[in-house]
Structure 1
Amino acid sequence: ETVKLKASGDKSVSGITAEDTSIASLKTLIKDLELQTTVLSRRVDELGITAKEAVARKNRVAALAALRSKKLAETTLTKRHATLGQLEEVFSKIEQAADQVELVNVMEASSRVLSGLNKEVGGVERVDDVVDQLRDQMSQVDEVGNVITEIGQGAGAVDETEVDDELEAMEREEREKREAKERSEREEREKLEAAETRRRLAALEEVEREAAKSKEEVSKKSEESIIGQSVEDTVKQMQGMSLEPKQIAETG
């Protein structure tokens, strides 16, 4: 039994035709041949393995029988492949022809649609009339707009001198603001620089005071060291002088 599926966008109702039955039969035959070729291929492989096993067992009769069966299966497989190729080619041609029929039908329907639309348009003369009418209406709109513009210009004329004066005043005010801002920034910068200079001078004076203090301490320590050395030398001299008379007396 043949079942025909309807496409989602196909609104036409048609029964199963002879072409549909033939295509369905062709598809079925192709499927059967594909199954047969699969079975025959597996059969050839199995017979080859059987022949090798028989040779390994040194069973020459079984090996010859397996090889004969293999050759028959290979011959049948070759024929099936050839038939399958022919059927697939036929099916491809049928699909191509069906596509061409569909294309022709679409082109024919498109031609009818264009013909109907052209009839609705009414031909070139009607299009020219419509375009002329459209141009006339657009011209009228432009004329009305020009009249309205002229009225507006006459009623609201602008004094360019006043505009220039106002612009000059605004520019002068903006310039004065900018100059005042720059002057304020310059004064602030000068104050900061003066403060930084005073800070550096104070730091330099502090360094000089510390250096003078360190120098004074070093000088004082040097003097104390010299005085201590002099006292020590004097004591040694006095000790030497006190020992000399005693030594002279002992000698005498």
Structure 2
Amino acid sequence: MPRLSGIRLSVYDPEVLADFYRSHLGMTARETADGWRVGYEGIDADILLRSGGAAYSPARSDRYWKIGITLPNVDMAFDQLSAAGFDVSKPHQFRDIGYMCHLSDPEGFQIELLQHEFEGKRPPGVGNPSLPLGGGARIGQITLRSGDIDASRRSCEDLGMRLLSVQPVTDFGFTLYFWAFTDDILPDPDFEAIENRNWLWKRAYTTLEIQHVDGLTPTRNPGYAGIVIEGPANTETVENSI
């Protein structure tokens, strides 16, 4: 089965940015022929950093929005990053989506930290303060924006991805759709079931999250160079059309 294996970003200084992800977010980093590859051990996606970009100022109309890092203890991660001097939003329960906080990397790309469990539901003693982000982190989501969910749906289905969750956020004017290369069976067959959401945040693989804003015409971020899909024979393709 194919897998969502990475996201390509063109950045100002790949080596310096790779060190941020390694030192503060606990990722491994290795130099490649055209830049740096950073990520966690496992089957989740990596971030492929290549030169040629510039410092980035995000906008709500950008095609590429963020990576989401799922982890057991967001409060512990927040405390670590705040102590290191990073500007991190205070953890909060966002609607019935998840318990989360946000920051940006040194070049302006957005990062969401999303806890496996909702606020107040985390088991006691979870997380290791001696590990970056408390340990157990993975890249859970790569998030793109779309103004045409039917076109995005066709693109995902053509790639062989399955829809796992639909999460309306009507008071903010958008709906979230989560797609993945997987045969996993949902705990509840209703795509909008809230009971599926903590299950989703614990998956070992990365999902493609589509934020649909009806009528939006997304603009392409200067540094966003596409998602990377690895085939069964370890061949990689870069997809820009979703």
The answer, yes or no, to whether TM exceeds 0.5 is no
Structure in which a larger fraction of residues adopt strand: 2
Normalised-by-shorter TM-score class: under 0.3
Question: Higher relative contact order by CA 8 Å / sep ≥ 6: 1 or 2?
Answer: 2
Of the two, which has the highest radius of gyration? 1
The structure where helix makes up a greater share of residues is: 1
